[in-house]
Amino acid sequence: MLRQDSILRLQTNLQAIERAQRQISSGLKVERMSDDPTAGSEVIRLSSSLRAIDQYRRNVRAADGRAATAETAVNSLSTTLDRAVELAISQASGTATAATRLATKAEVDQLLGFAVGLGNTKFGDTWIFAGNRGTEAPFQVPPTVTDPFTALRDALGDPVDPSGNPRIEIGDGVTIAPNPNGTAVFLDTGALEALRDLSTALGANDVAGITAAQSALQSAGREVQSVLGGLGAVSGQLQNTSDNLEAMEQTVLLLRSDLRDVEIEEAISELSGRQTAYQAAMLATSRVLGQSLADYLR
């Protein structure tokens, strides 16, 4: 019984030494569930949370990229409308002639084509203003003044405006639409229609039509500015979310470290103590194993 007890103590001390050495080499005090089932379960849960946070951060970056791309396009649209207003004012004056208006029409047509191109802005492989149909270019320059600007068609071949706002998950149960669809930006604001109206009026040398188009362009410009404000709010929300995820990640990392990681100084001290205990156990065992039953009975 003494021998068995001594051997058991030696084995226990050897296991403790091996565990301390493993902790020092790995820097972890919980490598397996058997090391500490309670702490191990919590470490698994925290690691899962870290993976989710990392995915949310990637989603935030993707959403921020879409929002920034959309903001650049909408800002360019606003600049385009401002230029069109300047042209309308200059050609509505008494000094303008049919020739100057016709020449100005060519520039307005270029502005219209540029605005349509902005509506077909892509982020990666996706047309960001196409709504739920991001694999298709949403806009076209109409062949006639009566044709629609939308390039999308339904199952029957009829034109349909871009619709839907794809959302991206940026938190647990939290989603965001990074940018509005093309209908809200280019059609509901009246931007494309006002540019076309100005082009038509210039081509017809219609002063009243030019003045009306000027008013429509100014109204469209205000609407586009409102869209820009909404995109700015989205960018602010994404920045706040990114900051919150960063803080959350640091908190979870600290909690996991407290449960899983070992303090090297503490582990070295424990290893030294285990080695001392093992040496003492070896000495005691050598004495026990050197005794016979007769020695023990004496």
> pLDDT value at position 254?
84
pLDDT single digits (tens) 44-92 = 888 889 999 999 999 999 999 999 999 999 999 999 999 999 999 999 9
Question: Which phi and psi (to 5°) does residue 123 adopt?
Answer: -125, 105
Mean pLDDT of 240-267: 79
- Is the distance from CB of 274 to CB of 12 less than 8 angstroms? no
Residue 269 CB neighbours (<10 A): 12
> pLDDT value at position 262?
61
> pLDDT value at position 179?
96
Indicate whether 9 pLDDT > 80: no
Count CA atoms closer than 13 A to 93's CA, side-chain side.
8
Residues 6+ apart with CB under 8 A from 114: 76, 80
- DSSP H helical segments within 122-185, as ranges? 182
If one compares 286 and 205, the residue with the highest pLDDT of the two is 205
Domain ranges of the chain: 45-255
Mean pLDDT of 270-284: 63
Closest CA to 285 of 16, 2, 1, 18: 2
CATH code linked to domain 45-255? 1.20.1330.10
- Is the distance from CB of 9 to CB of 249 less than 8 angstroms? no
% of the chain surpassing 90 pLDDT: 65
> pLDDT value at position 256?
74
